[in-house]
Structure 1
Amino acid sequence: MFRYLLTAAKRPHRAGAVGVALALVAGLSTSAVAETADAPRARAPRPPAVAQPAKPAPGGTVTLVTGDRVRVDAGPRGAQALTVLPPAGGKDTAGGGFAQFIFRGDQYVIPAEAGPYLGRTLDPRLFNVSYLLRAKLDDRRTGTLPVRIEATAARAEDLPATSVTGTAGGHARAKVAKKDAGRLGRTLAERWRGGAAHPAGIGTLPGIDRITLAPPKGAPALPEAPAQAAPLSAATKPTGVRNHNLTVNSIDFNGQPGNIIGWAHNVEDANVGFFLMDFPGRQQATFSVPEGTYAVEATVLTGPGDKLSSPMAFVTEPEFTVKADTTVTLDARKAVPYQPTVDDPGAQGLQRTDSLWFSRTSEAGNGNALHPFGFTGFALIQMRLIAYPSKGSPMIFATPTRPVTKGSFDLAAYTYLRENVDTVPEQPTSLPTYMLGFSFPGGVPASMSPKVRSADLTTLHSKLYQRPGTTGMPHQMTSEFSLPWTMGRNWAWVKPGERTDYVYGNTPDTTVWQQRDLITDDGDFQNVWGERRKVRPGQVISEKWNQAPRVFADTPLYRVSPAVGFGTSDTLVTSAVAMDRICAACRQDNIAMVNLGLGYSEPTHVNEAFPQVDKDLVSAEFYRDGALAFTTTNASTYLGPSGMPLPLVPRAATYRLKARQEYGTDAQMSVTSDWTFRSGPADTAATLPDKTDCTPDPSRGCSFLPMLFIRYGDLGLDLNSQAKAGAPLDIAFSVRHQQSQSPPSGVTATVEVSYDDGETWSEPRDAARRGDGSFATTVQHPALSDPAQYVSLRIIARDDAGNSVTQTNSRAYRLTD
């Protein structure tokens, strides 16, 4: 089983972070310093010829001098994702815990057994996995690690897995065989655990002053060490950070030693120490930690860690002080069950999914958290913090906690009720679903069995339409909660048509809810998001989903889109940022930012925005005073109409933007909008609603681009997006500027129809303005001449300022007899 490296959580801040903080790792047993952008401290003199930060090398696997193996995967924009792999020799008997930090762009992974020696006997750069890749010391290219040992040849040769290749000036050159390096790791662990018996104390090796990496010929220079510290002799008393042993014991439900999966960390600054108790768990864990205040969040299992039926309890010690050797006992017998109930007849007999998330921040603002994305999603399963009681898996239990005085400790629990927890597209449901979210700020309460009254549920009436040409395709309806510190999401595959679902949040003032409709079409997927809102007890919400035809929407997109699931990026949409939006089409200086998704008749619905998409699905052309200025045909990244920066001129000019997007697996099903508009640097400043920003610089103002947007009304199509052949149909639509912009004046519009995929078009028909400001005209459909006959629409609209749009919907809907 892989062990996934968990890093300290960042502050919930999306942008503008400046500077890189050095994270002091577990067991730094000599005086060391942390660099921050705003609080520099003195440090040891910088050595000469320091290597500059380098671009990350491609991915690979590296073996550390302790025998631990780390896989490095190259991510977007040079990021590196780390995964701790099982040791080459099988079971890990050295330590099992890891700490990670980033210093000047390089990733460091520190095994627990190495922590007490770090900066003293062991050079931290031995654990710089980024440099090991750059220096071509990964496992594919070498089976040994070259080291420099400040010791006699005999002493160096005594080290396990080490062979001396030469000596000079009081040090030995040697190689550590990777296949045997685990023996060196076990020696380090055994010695520091019995450190009190050695005169030199913890963090020393007999006759060894220091071990550092010796770069091979042709390798880049070693980067500067995160902490420069002189070695200590046996007669020297330790100074600076003092370390003590922290032991974590466990008691299971039966009063016997349990199996622990989780972590411990410092709560004054999580960067000072982070220790992982990895899957499949252990009955006891011991770490060497600097003095300070700590927290433990872990699952105690009654039974084997790799057995899904083992009963679990989430047991925490959210705050305790380490000033000497300290033992903490996690007692599962104190836990209370998480068992919410719903007083509603429709909820009876549905299957249940429970999950638990938490966040424990430090005084420094960082900390540890379990969120529903990235590799922490795997920790969710390994720690049994997701449960399916109706399928026989153990319930979630948690131990009540006292309030913390340093940082914060917050909890969230979610329950999702649906017909079958094994929801799949092949078996959609027509029964209601219930999404219940419970926020527990301050920690685990004394009772976790809340009762939800039927009258307090929010009712969701939905009508789900199909794309033209499809019948019976399932929809994946998702409910998502955003809390001040985390998120929650669950879903079910449902049948098209009318349905009713329910949601509930116990803290409506701090909970933001959003619904998503994911539509399948022969393997193709389209996401459409609804409005983010605070749901209220007893509220009733009615919405229509996927009502044809699709259009480029005037709806401002949300600034942050969630990324939830295993291996996703850490895009956390908390309630503090959930409502933030960006202008749909605005000018700032000589840059126009166009952020358009696809929508339909519901004005608050819009599909997910993909800044880079397949050029076969999305294309755009941009003209300035008739001259082509930008085209996706020649773009190295295929920017679509979402997140597209356009170059403007520093004077008033006429612009043309033409964008096309396909949707569905039918390549002929598409929308094309061709806008013409005037814009200049002296245009009136935009008045944006609260929580809506200009782009690219949200700290500055902007002006609206006077683009016209066409959105269809309810055309009266059936659930399969079909209209009756041989009968008339009212084509109703609106023409407007983007939301929050004043409406255009003097608008006129015409409608054309095609029944042969745009080969020929009808004569333009004038659309009449109706009392509500919308437009409509009636078209007479012919008799059905083809069993798959589609209708395409083309609308041309103009205002009295000279702005215009031609919108073409190819295969907007289908005819039926």
Structure 2
Amino acid sequence: MHRRKKLAETFRSGPQWTIRALLAGVVAAGVAAVPAPAEAEPVGAPATAVSATVTLPTGDRVVVPASGQPSYLGSSPGGVVSYQGANGDRYVIPAIAQPYLGKQLDPSLFDVSALARDDAATRIPVTLTFAAGATPATPAGVTLTSVDGTSASGYLTPGRDFANLLRSRIGADVAAGRKPGTSGLFDGLAAMNLATGAPGPIVQPRYPMRTLQINGVDEAGAPGNFTVFVMNTDSMSKMAIQVPLVDGIARIAVPTGNYTASAGVGSYDEQGNNTAMRFVDLNDFAVDDTSAPSSITIDMRAANSAISVRTPRPATQDIVIAGYYRFDATGRDGMNIWVGATGQVPVYVNAQPAARTGRLHYLLTWGGTAADPGERYRYNVVFPSDNGVSADQAYTVRTDQLATVRQRLSADPGYAGKSISLLTVPTDPAISSRWGGGVGAADSGATVPGELTQYLGTADGGQWANMYNAPFMPLIGDVRTYAAGKEYAERWGHGPIAAGFGQYTGTNTCLACVAGSTVGLAIPSFHDSAGHTSADQAPMPGHLALYRDGTRLVDEDTYGVVITDNPARKSTYRAVFDVDLTGQGSYRQATKTTTDLTFSYSPNPAPGSTLPASGTCPGQTASTPCRILPVLTLNYQMASDDTNTSGLAVQTMGVKAGHLSYDGAGSKAPITSLTVSVSFDGGATWQPSTVYGSTGDYTARWSNPASARGTSPALRVTATDAIGGSITQTITDAYTIAG
């Protein structure tokens, strides 16, 4: 009996902002459509690098990578505080929810790691508790499915209804001169929690404890009710905790030693809109071994340094994020918190010196779009500091700090004229190995097809990655290093779009590797002409059948699997992967693809097949390194416009055939053949094209008949290599012939 692993956790490691950990598991959503044979065990579907774009109860969207920083997209102008909890999960708290956090709204509702794991995209399962004597009722956006006394279960539909409820209650409090959140969110509601995705237990070592009193003061000088983050900077393992203040005070027991504490809060107007974000950091303080309690004060009035960025061309801020990455004295552990805002909401911080114990890495990320809506450019810049937080938070971007990137955005004809997000994420060298790089900014108004000029900052090393965030077809690129003063061009979404592997650079989790007796295989659902690969999100419309020497191992709705008992003998694998976009959005092209892949396994490593040291794979240990399997890849360069439409009578398409590789490592087996066929009648008949070229680089030519104008032909491409590998890919509606 062979063994297969569930992949919810198998591939969670990843690079930088985990841009390419395409097997990383944060969401497990496989549903077996065809029963596995008796000897097979059920397998969960792997999720991928950017595993999910989750929606918070307020309607704000967050891109959640398998590891590293989530990227906040927002839904309307406003602030946010994000932190990693002691349970290891990531929390993203919009400002309009903060007045109710820890009161009627449990932080679990904003645990984006749990929301991603449970695939809570359109319905967030919740449990509600009501005060004694109160009649259970539903807050706006909540549907109850069962009621038992003062307890109820149901689901929250994230979006405008719930966000408007929060704003209206906050606005009523502000208008009445009360602190936001004073009057409660909903009469009779005592608490609302996330019903699933409970984090694991928090283990806190036992030490002799001393009392620490935390005082909080809001921006008006009154006792502040907010959450304070406290960490022992000698060793995070001694203490890392979030402490809610009640009436401006909290007392906790902590081990003696050195500490850091911080908190972020929002300000609001009479309509309940978030008007500012403030963040106060107390970088160093000590808790002494005395009987007298230690005391600190987090005073929001100290956050009086406004962040601003001046750019060479006029730009209007659409995102600003102040990141605090605090390492302890061991250098191994730490806490990271960031506060930010979308739109033009200002962010204020307080000045702090460099850390005395451990290290504080302060990272400012800023994005702004052209002040004139008719112009298509934007800035994304980042500024690091290891010397504390300066009182002067006014930054000036110099031209000699910028790289210019011309982004050409193609689109399916069904999405022409619509808007997508181009998510831009920095990779900060100081934190990339620990926290995945940095926090991203999004261009919320990139109309496709079209072009966008990006000015990317290089003050922090110039490493950036982009994600073309189109519905059902998000595409991501490798982390690239951009040099100041240089110009670059990049094209997104150009087809034919198809499933398959690519040639990758940088830190990665291997998509097709073997380590010892473990084989890990996951096939990205989409890639474009530039080699950008899909950031698959569960549930995806894919079905995988996998065979070894003719024996079926997998046959279910998934796009990846881990086999844990691969025999130490030569064998042949065959994978058939189907992707069906029918009914998904408005897509008219690449509606169905079938990828039929054959590759060999040998217990003797092929030269050059070892995965680079920066990569990872399932089953990897010190004695079982990762070896890249010789799976074939196809990349298409169709002569067509930015809607993948061609007006040519004689059609040409470049095809590059090769093998999966990472930083050049992978199979070097020669490509021995390539054929291309075209069907103008939905696959009933196929016409061979003329193919020129060799050694993996080919050009195919065929005629587009006048009778096919306005239709979308199908393509079938087959390639073979010298070691018995093959790939046949069929793409329905591969491109469109102009009408």
Q: Secondary structure at the match of 2:208?
A: coil
Structure 1 position 728 matched with structure 2 position 650: yes
Distance in 2 (alpha carbons) for counterparts of 1:791 and 1:82: 44
**In the alignment, does 2:623 pair up with 1:623?**
no
Q: 2:323 aligns with which of 354, 357, 361?
A: 357
Q: Distance in 2 between matches of 1:311 and 1:473?
A: 31
Partner of 1:542: 489
Indicate whether 1:243 and 2:210 are aligned: yes
Q: Describe the shift of the 1:83–1:435 C-alpha distance in structure 2 as closer, same or farther (beyond 3 A).
A: farther
CA contact (8 A) 2:408 2:491 kept: yes
Query: Which structure has greater strand proportion?
Result: 2
Distance 1:302 1:507, change over 3 A: same
Aligned ranges 1:10-49 → 2 under 5 Å: none
Change (3 A) 1:76 1:534: closer
The 8 Å contact of residues 413 and 437 in structure 1, kept in 2 or not, is answered as yes
Give the paired residue count.
554
Q: Give me the whole-angstrom Cα distance separating, in 1, the residues matched to 2:295 and 2:488.
A: 53
Native 8 Å contact 1:791 1:810 kept in 2: yes
Task: Assess, with a 3 A threshold, how the Cα gap between structure 1 residues 606 and 429 changes in structure 2: closer, same or farther.
Answer: farther
Match in the other structure for 2:446: 494
Shift of 1:691: 1.8
Which residue number in structure 1 is paired with residue 513 of structure 2? 586
User: How far is the alpha carbon of 1:624 from its aligned partner?
Assistant: 3.1
In angstroms, what is the RMSD of aligned CA positions? 4.4
Give the equivalent residue in structure 2 for 1:46.
none
Q: The residue matched to 2:619 in structure 1 has which SS?
A: coil
Structure 2 CA distance for aligned equivalents of residues 420 and 82 of structure 1:
41
The whole-number CA distance in structure 2 between the counterparts of 1:366 and 1:86 is: 37
Indicate the structure (1 or 2) with the bigger Cα radius of gyration: 1
Mapping 1:139-288, distance limit 5 Å = 140=151, 241=208, 243-244=210-211, 246-250=213-217, 252=219, 256-257=221-222, 259=224, 261-267=226-232, 268-270=234-236, 276=242, 278=244, 282-287=247-252
What is the TM-score with the length of structure 2 in the denominator?
A: 0.65
Where in structure 2 are the equivalents of 1:696-707 lying within 5 Å? 696-697=619-620, 699=622, 700-707=624-631
Partners of 2:204 and 2:239 within 8 A in 1 = no
The corresponding residue for 1:342 is 310
* Equivalent position amino acid for 1:401 in 2: Q
| Among 476, 483, 494, the residue aligned to 1:529 | 476
Q: Is the 8 A contact 2:709 2:737 kept in 1?
A: no
| 1:319-360 deviation line (CA, Å, top 9, x unaligned) | 122332344344556545343333422x34x34432222133
AA of the residue aligned to 1:435: N
Alpha-carbon distance between aligned partners in 2 of 1:590 and 1:488, rounded to the nearest angstrom: 37
Letter in 2 for 1:629: R
Task: Kindly state the Cα deviation for residue 480 of structure 1 after the two structures are TM-superposed.
Answer: 0.9
Report the equivalent of 1:755. 680
Higher relative contact order (CA 8 A, sep 6+): 2
TM-score if structure 1 supplies the norm length? 0.59
Aligned partners of 2:475 and 2:527 also within 8 Å: no
- Alpha-carbon distance in 1 for matches of 2:214, 2:271: 23
User: Structure 1's 646 and 632: CA in aligned 2 closer, same or farther, altered over 3 A?
Assistant: farther
Please give the alpha-carbon distance, in whole angstroms, between the structure 2 residues aligned to 1:278 and 1:337.
Answer: 25
Q: Tell me the residue number matched to 1:206.
A: none
Q: Where in structure 1 are there 5+ consecutive unaligned residues? A: 1-9, 16-65, 91-136, 142-179, 183-222, 229-239, 372-379, 422-427, 559-578
Which residue does 2:258 correspond to in 1? Answer: 293
Measured at CA, do residues 271 and 786 of structure 1 come closer, stay the same or move farther in structure 2, by a change above 3 Å? same
1:677-734 deviations in Å (ceiling 9; x for gaps): 3333235252334523444315423544333322112x22011111126x00112212
Shift of 1:652: 2.3
> What whole-Å deviation, never above 9, does each CA across 1:131-163 have from its counterpart, x for those lacking one?
xxxxxx99749xxxxxxxxxxxxxxxxxxxxxx
Structure 1 SS opposite 2:377: coil
Q: Distance in 2 between matches of 1:497 and 1:82?
A: 39
**Shift of residue 477, structure 1, vs aligned partner:** 0.7
Distance 1:294 1:341, change over 3 A: closer
Matches within 5 A, 1:322-401: 322-323=287-288, 324-331=292-299, 334-345=302-313, 347-348=314-315, 350-363=316-329, 366-371=333-338, 380=339, 385-386=340-341, 388-389=343-344, 393=345, 395-401=346-352
Asked if the contact 2:633/2:657 (under 8 Å) is kept, the reply is yes
Q: 2:657 aligned with 1:657, yes or no? A: no
| Partner SS, residue 403 of structure 1 | coil
How far did 1:532 drift?
0.5
Question: Which AA in structure 2 matches 1:488?
Answer: V
Residue matched to 1:376: none
Whole-Å separation in 2 of the counterparts to 1:477 and 1:398: 28
State the partner residue of 2:279. Answer: 314
SS in structure 2 at match of 1:684: coil
Deviations 1:4-42 (A, max 9, x none): xxxxxx9x9999xxxxxxxxxxxxxxxxxxxxxxxxxxx
Distance 1:774 1:339 in 2: 50
Q: Gapped runs of 5+ residues in structure 2? A: 1-12, 22-101, 134-147, 153-187, 191-200
Tell me whether 1:639 sits opposite 2:558 in the alignment: yes
Partner of 2:395: 450
Q: CA deviation at 1:468?
A: 5.0
Q: What is the deviation of 1:429?
A: 7.6
How far 1:623 sits from its partner (Å)? 2.8
**Are residues 672 and 245 of structure 1, via their aligned partners in 2, closer, same or farther at CA, if it must alter by over 3 Å?**
closer
Residues 449 and 692 of structure 1: CA distance in aligned 2, closer, same or farther (over 3 Å): same
For 2:127 and 2:352, locate their aligned partners in 1 and report how far apart those are by CA, in whole Å: 31
1:467 maps to what in 2?
412
CA pair 282-673 structure 1, distance change in 2 beyond 3 A: same
Asked whether the 8 Å contact 1:621–1:632 carries over to 2, the reply is yes
Deviation at 1:403, TM superposition (A): 2.4
What residue is the counterpart of 1:437 in the other structure?
382
Q: Quick one: percent identity of the two aligned structures?
A: 20
